[in-house]
Structure 1
């Protein structure tokens, strides 16, 4: 029997066919991108008549381009394709009029129609982002669509559609469209219409599901970690015993979160990661905004190159949220050298098991496996050195990450401080066994290296040029000699200097104004912020330092000290942490490879979470059981 040879994908950008209105549909086989034709990220941006359509040649780009060319309107910027299902209007480009947009759940009594947008949920074939296609034909038993970023092969001769989907009419009169992939869920279709009959009614969940609840274990367990394991021994040493809480009165305390809240945090984490990436790209494209980030001018080409070459190379980061029945809002994204991984991914689960907490599930159980997968996909080509300072909390942090790295099959070595390092004859920094340091995961922030440039009065341009020539040095290796050497691959990449800088928060607000997950933020104090209360943050502050909370009457509610008082500042709307059982509680979610991977809570008697604030165990509970608890 002769096997049919596999169909080869067409090169990136090839026109696969034309949809209605002669709108071209392109191949998005990114493996075949011509680097000379598309040399940088800017060249991947698609514009029509000066209007940004999206990234070449993704599904959202085609959807926006088709409705603009055929209908004259566009939908708002969205982070994920599935977010289109929640939009409520489109905008006519020629006059700015808002036209109503309605969503119809798969199975609704109003069928899809030509020009409707078919929306897939996240998961399966369309993991993380979901998917969107344009409906072009509707028959009794099928729907035809055009789409990008799915199949990269030319259409059959004479065809005007990408794919045909089965359509069924249920006995109750509903219409259901089936995905032709075994792992793919169609949410429904979105139609610009004045008739809302049979449209999805977007009911908000019970606000009470977003209020965390406190619980208490029956008794204190004296010893529950295995001190024969280096990471756990280091944690016990740092905490002064087998404990999560620093205050004795909270040794039995834990917190509960509803399943609905957990799902919302997952969606927010995934969506916000994409939004922060969009904002990072925008900053690097606009020099006048980039200037507000206070970065050395000589380093900017390196940062741009890092973004160009390593945009998908970040392993992980942490979002800090405030969550109450009034909403879920992000404070910031610690995309560079975040902490609390071991507490979230291991210790809170160990604590709950030891203390007999059977309610719900461990909120951090997925973090460790996600980190292992991320390190497997990182393609590290030599010994991976974990660089850390000598602070006690960095020891268990580094040991935990080494466990994840080694589970991924990589050779890992922890370096505490820089005293054991030296130069080899070719000008490379080497460890005490002579291994060149070429791959690094660091607990130090990139800003620490920049501070070293500033403090040592290094000629930045001369320093950066000197690393282009391999030659021995006559001084002991410094942090900048490792992290700022172009040949060294550092996690997290240099571009995270932009993403972690608080100056990105006003940029986000300008790109996504009134987004439900964002707090209003500006570079200057505005009337609206002054009227309702605001927070002053240094653009490169860490660990809750140099924060000021100001109330409606300009009364300072709380402020912290620190070493960042001389840095530029941003102003963010005040949204106080809730008081739950006598502690202010902040929700933290971890993004691994750009995806939600685990949640924890950090607690403090004060209004600001700092480096010494406790991380107490968090359990995720089914909604009904959550609401039933006192």
Structure 2
């Protein structure tokens, strides 16, 4: 039988029970006119985000919303749904239990259950999800999107059937239609947890951070970083020695987390990246919200253009988490000019080898390779100019990134400051060797450039409506002129100003209320936040500056000074970092190209992590190893 051509994107394929339409998601045939930018592919129903048109996850969430009034949390990949354990009741924002049953379970699937495939084969990287519509002893029927893009036969309310076998013991086994794909099982919203899979996070003990100390040996007094490598030499100079911790007494200290906690970090980072991207799109589509981000009006068109053209060009970013037995909560997303990459990807691994720490695995062992792959996937085709300030930490950070570029076969030039740059007669910006700059990676935050624009806007009202570079041949450009030049592509892109701004946190909470990874956040200090305790943060702030922590009795627990006191504030529910062996410990998760890439720790005797907070080694160890100790 000849293979049928897929139906054109958005073609109606059929209707599942409840009158829920399924559409073709053959993206190759999507109209550039109807879908001119990525945001046009976002699917909403009653103002609630369902997913991307017309993917399998979008269909499953839309079916549940229409038929049950519930939706499951947003996920990066379909197979990750199998790890969820609750759905949200839209009517009252309450949580209802969602049980997972492996293929072969005695707890049979029901109409309305979610059928989940593992990643791999036909569903490489993503997995797949379908809605179960009918269940029989020898088969079941499902409805889905994003498979073969074929119109369903007339009068049929399902896309296909899967063979099933019911054993004498009552086990229900499904056969996959594809030899290279695996059915994980089904998920049912029910209180009945007989034969259900436990939550990956059910053992709260596995989320305890544990402090360890390496054994003191004679060799540990020796130098252990290779100063013949420029990045390591710069690191040794900045730290005044061969050490990971700045505190002499802590040279032998490290922390461990379970493999379950590691998996939770991976899943959380991947899921949260998607949530922050959705919130960014929502903000850019709502001018009243965008106004709360205190961005110069003159660059808003450039931000929107950056989002439309360069959404997938994020090289790396960092989530900051509090991990405790009471839950895993994200504080913020550093999409722009994050730090600690070298400490995580290189230094802590060398520290462990030198000090003879072989317990578990280095939490940053894969970060370097993930960054290399992110560069290979990027659109940077020519020489990348790495701009950094005259700061010891920025220098070794820049040199480390240069190594990732070199491994990706991308040429680069390191530039300290911008005084050596010049305008040419055509309006290009040249480096000291006369090369035109086209690609830039920077350690400076975008906000540094925006401050220059704000000053220029105050002096010239015309600039307030449209940014104009101060172009003068032979003269040095300003940082803003470089970063906002129309012919220069910057990593990280301009749109990262939105998810890096703390104003995104109340937006996230409004879009995904009571999400288990989020903390209640608001633009105003409401009664609920006062009752729980809260943290006030400047919407644009860095390195823990100008933060105040207040408990439920209105007592200030901790506060920091800084240069962001004039900024508008947001308020976030108080969820303190765990205090472990004398230090408050923050777990950081890095992403590369939007996916989890590695982890590190920041520690401080203060409850607030700042620029001067220490890094310590983090190891992921086997669950049983921790439990049996």
What is the RMSD computed on CA atoms of the aligned residues? 3.0
> In structure 2, what is the equivalent of residue 243 of structure 1?
243
Quote the residue 2:293 is aligned against. Answer: 293
- Mapped to 1, the partners of 2:259 and 2:193 lie a distance apart of 30
Deviation at 1:528, TM superposition (A): 2.4
Provide, for residues 71-109 of structure 1, a one-character-per-residue CA deviation record: whole Å limited to 9, x for no partner: 36342553344565535457587x999987654332211
Does residue 79 of structure 1 match 2:75?
A: yes
Unaligned runs of 5+ in 1: none
Distance 1:144 1:108 in 2: 18
Q: Which residue of 2 aligns with 1:590?
A: 590
Give the drift of 1:407: 0.9
CA distance in 2, matches of 1:562, 1:529: 24
Is 277-286 or 444-453 further displaced after alignment? 277-286
Contact map agreement 2:71 2:90 (CA 8 A) in 1? no
The secondary structure found in structure 2 opposite 1:495 is helix
> Partners in 2 of 1:422 and 1:132 — Cα distance?
54
Deviates more, 1:341-350 or 1:271-280: 271-280
Aligned residues of 1:63 and 1:117 also touching (Cα < 8 A): yes
Structure 2 stretches of 5 or more lacking a match? Answer: none
Cα 1:166–1:432 shift into 2, 3 Å: farther
Aligned position for 1:528: 528
* Superposition deviation, residue 173 in structure 1: 2.0
- Whole-Å separation in 2 of the counterparts to 1:453 and 1:149: 45
The C-alpha deviation readout for 1:458-497, integer Å capped at 9, x for no partner, is 64854885759x9754642111111112332111111110
Query: In the alignment, what sits opposite 1:563?
Result: 563
TM-superposed CA distance for 1:222, in Å, is 2.5
Deviations 1:6-46 (A, max 9, x none): 86544322334554566543222334322211224453233
Is the deviation greater in 426-435 or in 129-138? 129-138
C-alpha distance in structure 2 between counterparts of 1:442 and 1:163, whole Å: 51
Contact 1:92 1:98 in 2 (8 A): no
Deviation at 1:240?
Answer: 0.7
Question: Hey, what does 1:620 align to over in structure 2?
Answer: 620
437-446 or 155-164, which deviates more: 155-164
Aligned equivalents of 2:589, 2:179: Cα separation in 1: 30
Q: Tell me whether 21-30 or 319-328 shows the greater mean CA deviation.
A: 21-30
Q: Which has the higher mean CA deviation after the structures are superposed, 374-383 or 177-186?
A: 177-186
1:139-194 deviation digits (Å, cap 9, x = unpaired): 54443433222334556788764444443334532112244456644332234568
Is the alpha carbon distance of 1:418 and 1:48 closer, same or farther for their aligned partners in structure 2, counting shifts above 3 Å? closer
Aligned equivalents of 2:498, 2:480: Cα separation in 1: 18
Aligned equivalent of 2:27, options 18, 27, 30 = 30
Residues 269-278 or 54-63, more deviating: 54-63
Q: Note closer, same or farther for the CA distance 1:32–1:402 as it changes in structure 2 (3 Å cut).
A: farther
Matches within 5 A, 1:43-192: 43-47=40-44, 52-67=49-64, 71=67, 73-80=69-76, 81-82=78-79, 84-85=81-82, 86=84, 88=86, 91=89, 102-121=99-118, 126=123, 130-153=127-150, 161-170=158-167, 172-181=169-178, 184-191=181-188
SS in 1 for 2:108: coil
Shift of 1:296: 0.9
Per-residue CA deviation, residues 403-441 of structure 1 (Å, 9 max, x unaligned), is 111111111222111022112221110112222211111
**CA separation in 1, counterparts of 2:195 and 2:63?**
25
Cα gap change, 1:6 to 1:323, in 2 (>3 Å): same
8 Å Cα contact 2:385-2:412 kept in structure 1? yes
Match of 2:501 in 1: 501
Matching residue of 1:265 = 265
Matched, 1:13 2:10: yes
Distance 2:280 2:416 in 1: 31
Contact 1:128/1:270, CA 8 A, preserved across alignment: no
| Residue of structure 1 in register with 2:387 after alignment | 387
1:417 counterpart = 2:417: yes
SS of the residue corresponding to residue 131 of structure 2 reads: strand
Give the secondary-structure state (helix, strand or coil) at the position aligned to 1:263: helix
Is residue 226 from structure 1 mapped to residue 226 from structure 2 by the alignment? yes
For the pair 1:378 / 2:378, whether they are aligned, the reply is yes
Which residue number in structure 2 is paired with residue 608 of structure 1?
A: 608
Note if contact 2:424-2:474 (Cα within 8 Å) is conserved in structure 1. Answer: no
Query: Equivalents in 2 of 1:263, 1:217: separation in Å?
Result: 25
Paired residues of 2:224 and 2:354 also in contact (CA < 8 A): yes
Alignment-derived partner of residue 275 in structure 1: 275
Question: What TM-score do you get using the length of structure 1 for normalisation?
Answer: 0.91
Shift of 1:133: 0.8
Contact 1:464 1:484 in 2 (8 A): no
CA distance in structure 1 between the aligned counterparts of 2:620 and 2:16, rounded to whole angstroms: 46
Shift of 1:621: 0.7
Alpha-carbon distance between aligned partners in 1 of 2:94 and 2:518, rounded to the nearest angstrom: 25
1:215 pairs, out of 212, 215, 220, with 212
Q: Deviations over 1:244-295 (max 9, x none)?
A: 1111101111111111111111111111111111111121122111111111
Alpha-carbon offset, residue 208 of structure 1: 1.9
Cα shift at 1:577: 1.8
Q: Is the 8 A contact 1:221 1:355 kept in 2?
A: no
Name the CA distance, whole Å, in 2 between partners of 1:299 and 1:181: 49
Deviation at 1:200, TM superposition (A): 4.8
The alpha-carbon distance between structure 1 residues 208 and 383, as it changes in their structure 2 partners (threshold 3 A), is same
Q: Secondary structure at the match of 2:494?
A: coil
1:73–1:36 distance in 2 versus 1, CA, 3 Å: same
Given that 1:536 and 1:570 are in contact with CA atoms closer than 8 Å, whether structure 2 keeps it comes out as: yes
* Alignment partners' CA distance in 1, 2:228 and 2:17: 67
Partners of 1:346 and 1:92 in 2: CA distance: 45
Relative to the length of structure 2, the TM-score reads 0.91
State the aligned residue count: 623
Matched residues in 1 for 2:359 and 2:49: separation? 48
Aligned to 2:541: 541
Q: 1:133 & 1:382 partners in 2: Cα distance?
A: 43
| Further displaced range: 438-447 or 83-92 | 83-92
1:225-250 superposed Cα distances (whole Å, 9 cap, x missing partner): 11111111111111111111111101
**CA-CA distance at 1:617 after TM superposition:** 1.0
CA 1:530–1:98: 2 relative to 1, 3 Å: closer
Change (3 A) 1:209 1:466: closer
